[in-house]
């Protein structure tokens, strides 16, 4: 099996999910300069709601094709998440619109904890296994394998990104969103109600999060009330990598982060295999163990989560504005 190609495929899959979640962070930031740290929890709620609906349909033994069952899960998750996103803005962030920027930021972290605890009350603390209702066929592709779920996730993400781009650049509401992001008081002079645009932005971001949650849950076959936390942080890192506030940046950042993570995970054990490196001082002991086990690995694939945050730190040090972002001083 070709590890490189395999990890590219895996990275594209998780990267697509990161991109869809990162879009939510970047859209909200673009319009009100708030990092909505509760966004990851909206993704989790999407996965949980879809899981519940799918289990209910499967449990009722309805003779429906698997794709219809999953679709029903998605269609149930979207309005629930949109409602959560709308309420988040209305209840938690709007009263703090003119407060110092630290206040909404801390509120966002608080909302993240509240949503997590609510999910714990509703769905319990045990991880829920997504039922394997879809036949996960694998196709071979140049020495690597790509599954039908992976193909579905990548295609779905591309479709979502295309629709969102069309919406933001071609519809009146989308142009009003960009105008509000640039100058909220002048947008008001045009008759644009900032409250409506901001609410709309949260609703769209939450809708994307719902789909991302189902994709993530289906891919890993599991949903858990804490799953939104790390996923949210990674997607936030992806948005920063691409340049926060920039839509194309969030898409690029998500895909790149997925690839970095997959390739890093794929190769870290090989690169940190002490048997392949001349280690001074412990040759005797090491040679014995290498002879016995074949490899002595310093860091294994359980270090997967490290890469996203390494990338975040590197971006913040070397290019704080991100790959496609403008210099921060230029932002209104």
Partner 1 sequence: MASSSPEKGYALLEALNLEVHYGGIAAVKGVSFAVEEGELVCLIGANGAGKTSTLKALARMIPSSGEIHYRKERLDRQPSHLLIGKGMALVPEGRGIFARLTVAENLAMGAYHRNDKDGIAADLAHVYTLLPRLKERAEQVAGTLSGGEQQMLAIGRALMGRPQLLLLDEPSMGLAPLMVEKVFEVIRAVAAEGVTIFLVEQNARLALQTCSRGYVMESGRITLADTSDKLLADPRVRAAYLGE
Interface of this chain with partner 1, residues 228 to 287, rule: CB under 8 A: none
Cβ atoms of 243 and 326 within 8 Å: the answer is yes
Cβ atoms of 149 and 217 within 8 Å: the answer is no
- Between residues 143 and 188, which has the closer beta carbon with respect to partner 1? 188
- Between residues 34 and 187, which has the closer beta carbon with respect to partner 1? 187
Q: From the CB of 165, what's the least distance to partner 1, in Å?
A: 15
* Residues paired with residue 141 on neighbouring β-strands, in sequence order: 144
- Between residues 189 and 280, which has the closer beta carbon with respect to partner 1? 189
d(CA 308, CA 303): 10
List the Cα angle 262/258/104 in 5-degree steps.
135
Binding string to partner 1 for residues 192 to 231, with x set by CB under 8 A, is what? xxx-------------------------------------
- Between residues 283 and 326, which has the closer beta carbon with respect to partner 1? 326
- Between residues 26 and 107, which has the closer beta carbon with respect to partner 1? 26
Number of H helices, E strands in the chain: 12, 4
Task: Look at the block and give the residue holding tokens 């009146």.
Answer: 172
Q: From the CB of 176, what's the least distance to partner 1, in Å?
A: 6
d(CA 267, CA 258): 14
- Between residues 28 and 44, which has the closer beta carbon with respect to partner 1? 28
Q: From the CB of 216, what's the least distance to partner 1, in Å?
A: 32
- Between residues 69 and 197, which has the closer beta carbon with respect to partner 1? 197
Q: How far is CA 250 from CA 135, 245, 255, 284, 307, in A?
A: 31, 8, 9, 49, 17
Cβ atoms of 179 and 192 within 8 Å: the answer is yes
Q: From the CB of 187, what's the least distance to partner 1, in Å?
A: 7
Interface of this chain with partner 1, residues 140 to 199, rule: CB under 8 A: 172, 175-176, 178-179, 182-183, 185-194
Q: From the CB of 189, what's the least distance to partner 1, in Å?
A: 5
Number of residues that bind partner 1 (CB under 8 A): 17
d(CA 95, CA 104): 9
Q: From the CB of 24, what's the least distance to partner 1, in Å?
A: 20
Q: From the CB of 94, what's the least distance to partner 1, in Å?
A: 14
Task: Look at the block and give the residue holding tokens 């519809």.
Answer: 171
CA atoms within 13 A on the CB side of 201: 33
* Residues paired with residue 140 on neighbouring β-strands, in sequence order: 145
Under rule CB under 8 A, residue 138 binds partner 1 = no
Which residues contact partner 1 (rule: CB under 8 A)? 172, 175-176, 178-179, 182-183, 185-194
């Amino acid at each position: 099996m070709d590890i490189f190609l395999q990890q590219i495929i895996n990275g594209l899959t998780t990267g697509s999910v990161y991109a869809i979640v990162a879009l939510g962070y970047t859209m909200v930031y673009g319009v009100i300069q708030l990092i909505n740290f509760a966004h990851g929890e909206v993704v989790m709620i999407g996965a949980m709601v879809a899981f519940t609906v799918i289990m209910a349909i499967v449990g009722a033994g309805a003779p429906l094709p698997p794709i219809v069952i999953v679709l029903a899960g998605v269609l149930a998750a979207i309005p629930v998440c949109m409602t959560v996103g709308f309420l988040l803005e209305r209840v938690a962030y709007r009263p703090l619109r003119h407060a110092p920027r630290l206040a909404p930021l801390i509120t966002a972290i608080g909302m993240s904890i509240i949503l997590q605890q609510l999910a714990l009350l509703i769905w319990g603390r045990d991880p829920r296994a997504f039922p394997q209702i879809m036949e996960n066929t694998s196709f071979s592709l140049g020495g690597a394998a790509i599954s039908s779920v992976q193909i579905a996730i990548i295609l779905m993400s591309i479709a979502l990104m295309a629709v969102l781009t069309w919406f933001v650049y071609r519809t009146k509401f989308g142009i009003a969103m960009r105008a509000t992001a640039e100058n909220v008081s002048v947008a008001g002079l045009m008759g644009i109600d900032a409250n409506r645009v901001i609410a709309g932005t949260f609703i769209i971001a939450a809708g994307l999060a719902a789909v991302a949650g189902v994709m993530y849950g289906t891919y890993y076959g599991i949903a858990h009330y804490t799953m939104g936390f790390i996923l949210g942080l990674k997607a936030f890192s992806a948005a920063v990598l691409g340049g926060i506030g920039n839509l194309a940046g969030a898409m690029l950042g998500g895909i790149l982060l997925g690839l970095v993570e997959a390739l890093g995970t794929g190769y870290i054990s090989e690169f940190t295999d002490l048997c392949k490196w001349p280690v001074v001082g412990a040759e005797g002991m090491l040679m014995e163990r290498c002879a016995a086990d074949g490899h002595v690995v310093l860091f294994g694939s359980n270090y997967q989560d490290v890469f996203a945050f390494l990338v975040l730190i590197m971006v913040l040090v070397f290019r704080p504005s991100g790959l496609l972002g403008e210099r921060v001083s230029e932002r209104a």
